[in-house]
């Protein structure tokens, strides 16, 4: 919508410039003709009146607008006149102004040079107004583009900050995983070391028990009736060994 309005104003501006160029040529031709021929030419506008800026004279008993035109042409200061056919009056005027709507009996008589000059002034006003509108729209467009650019930059900053946060969290997660893996491995190593220590201690216990029994058998003087005591001793040794092996296997499974 914004671009459509701006394009329409630019097209209108181009057309006004072309119209101004053509009207300016006409105005120059009217000036040249008036100076070379020393005769004023007039444009006639029925049902309009022309009052210029100052009054020059008032003529009565004027039969038509042609006679009123002659009255104005004979005065160098006259830029236009108004003829009223009802009372046959002619008012000659000086200065430049726009024609205004009048009665059905009124006729505006305006010098061609003055009329083209008046039209140029009106056209210049239109051109300036369109220029201002175009300038305002372009400034608005620039401001909106700046705002959009700022929004995009802010959005990009948020995305960049979010990416940095993700990278930071990812790095922290990797460090935590590495730390956890190190702790887990350390814990496994500690458990393995404890198991080894326990196995060694168990083996020492079994060996110590066997050695104690052997020493008791060899150095005590307990009477032996048959092989009963030897059998009990060997049976005790086997039981101790089996219990030790059971304990060791149970610990290894854990």
Greater model confidence, 152 or 61: 61
Closest CA to 78 of 116, 48, 39, 107: 39
Least confident window among 45-54, 83-92, 132-141: 132-141
Rounded CA separation 237/211 (Å): 10
Rounded CA separation 46/41 (Å): 16
Q: What is the tens place of the pLDDT at every residue in 70-121?
A: 999 999 899 999 999 999 999 999 998 888 998 999 999 998 888 888 888 8
What is the crossing angle of helices 228-253 and 112-219, to 10°? 180
Closest CA to 46 of 91, 110, 89: 110
* pLDDT at residue number 221: 47
Q: Where residue 237 falls among pLDDT bands split at 50, 70, 90?
A: low
Q: What CATH number does domain 2-138 carry, 3.50.50.100, 3.30.1540.10, 3.50.4.10, 3.40.50.300? A: 3.50.4.10
* pLDDT at residue number 60: 93
Closest CA to 69 of 49, 90, 51: 90
* pLDDT at residue number 203: 67
Taking the whole predicted model, whether its pTM rises above 0.75 is answered as no
Structure tokens, 200: 């060694």
Residues in a beta bridge with 57: 92
> What average pLDDT does the chain have?
77
Q: How many CB atoms lie within 10 A of CB 133?
A: 15
What is the biggest distance separating any 2 CA atoms in the chain, rounded to whole angstroms?
183
108 near 45, Cβ under 8 Å?
yes
């Amino acid at each position: 919508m914004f671009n459509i309005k701006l394009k329409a104003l630019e097209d209108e501006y181009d057309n006004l410039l072309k119209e101004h160029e053509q009207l300016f040529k006409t105005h120059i031709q009217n000036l040249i003709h008036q100076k070379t021929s020393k005769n004023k030419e007039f444009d006639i506008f029925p049902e309009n009146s022309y009052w210029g800026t100052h009054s020059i004279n008032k003529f009565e008993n004027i039969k038509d607008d042609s006679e009123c035109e002659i009255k104005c042409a004979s005065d160098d200061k006259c830029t236009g006149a108004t003829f009223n056919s009802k009372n046959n009056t002619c008012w000659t005027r000086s200065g430049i102004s726009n024609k205004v709507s009048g009665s059905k009996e009124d006729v505006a008589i305006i010098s061609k040079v003055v009329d083209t000059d008046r039209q140029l002034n009106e056209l210049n006003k239109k051109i300036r107004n369109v220029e201002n509108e175009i300038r305002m729209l372009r400034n608005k467009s620039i401001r909106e583009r700046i705002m959009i650019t700022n929004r995009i930059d802010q959005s990009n900053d948020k995305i960049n900050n979010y990416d940095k946060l993700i990278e930071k969290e990812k790095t922290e997660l990797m460090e935590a995983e590495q730390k956890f893996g190190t702790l887990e491995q350390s814990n496994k190593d500690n458990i393995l070391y404890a198991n080894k220590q326990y196995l060694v201690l168990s083996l020492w216990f079994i060996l110590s028990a066997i050695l104690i029994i052997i020493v008791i058998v060899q150095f005590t003087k307990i009477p032996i009736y048959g092989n009963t005591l030897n059998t009990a001793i060997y049976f005790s040794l086997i039981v101790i060994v089996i219990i030790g092996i059971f304990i060791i296997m149970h610990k290894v499974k854990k």
